Homo-oligomer: A and B are copies of this chain.
Amino acid sequence: VWYHHGVQDDDAAPPATLEDVARGAGVSRSTASRALTGTGPVSDSALRRVRQTARELGYVADPVARALVRRQGTRVVVAVTSDASDLSGWYLSRVLAAGARICTPEGLGIGVVPVRRADPVRPLQALARDRTVAGVVLVNTTPEMLAAVPPALRGRAVSIGVGSDTEPSFDVDNAGAGRRTTEHLVRSGRRRIAMVTGPPWLPCSWRAVEAYREAVEAAGLPVRIVPGGFDPAHGDAGATTALARWPDTDAVMAIGDDVALGVLRALRRAGRRVPGDVAVTGFDDLPVADATDLTSGTHPVEDVAAAAVRGVLARVDAEGTRFSASELVVRASA
Contacts and interface: CB of A to CB of B under 8 A. Distances in A.
Contact of A75 (B93, B109, B131): B109
Interface residues of A, number: 55
A128 interface: yes
B97 A103 contact: no
Q: State how many copies of this chain the complex holds.
A: 2
B101 A112 contact: yes
Contact of A129 (B10, B94, B286, B291): B10
A109 B113 contact: no
A8 to B, nearest CB: 10
Contacts of A261: 287, 291
A60 B64 CA distance: 17
Interface in A128-169: 128-132, 150-152
A112 B131 contact: no
A108 to B, nearest CB: 6
A130 B62 CA distance: 8
A80 to B, nearest CB: 10
A56 to B, nearest CB: 15
Interface string A34-49: 0000000000000000
B104 A113 contact: yes
A90 B75 CA distance: 23
Contact of A112 (B63, B64, B100, B152): B100
Nearest to A152: B11
Given A109-B75, A113-B104, A15 B129 contact: yes
Interface of A: 7, 10-15, 60, 62-65, 67-68, 73-78, 90, 92-94, 96-97, 100-101, 103-104, 107-113, 121-122, 125, 128-132, 150-152, 258, 261, 286-288, 291-292
8 contacts: A7-B122, A60-B130, A64-B68, A64-B74, A101-B112, A104-B111, A108-B109, A109-B111
Q: Which 5 pairs show the lowest CB-CB distances between chains A and B? A: A109-B109, A75-B109, A104-B111, A93-B97, A93-B93
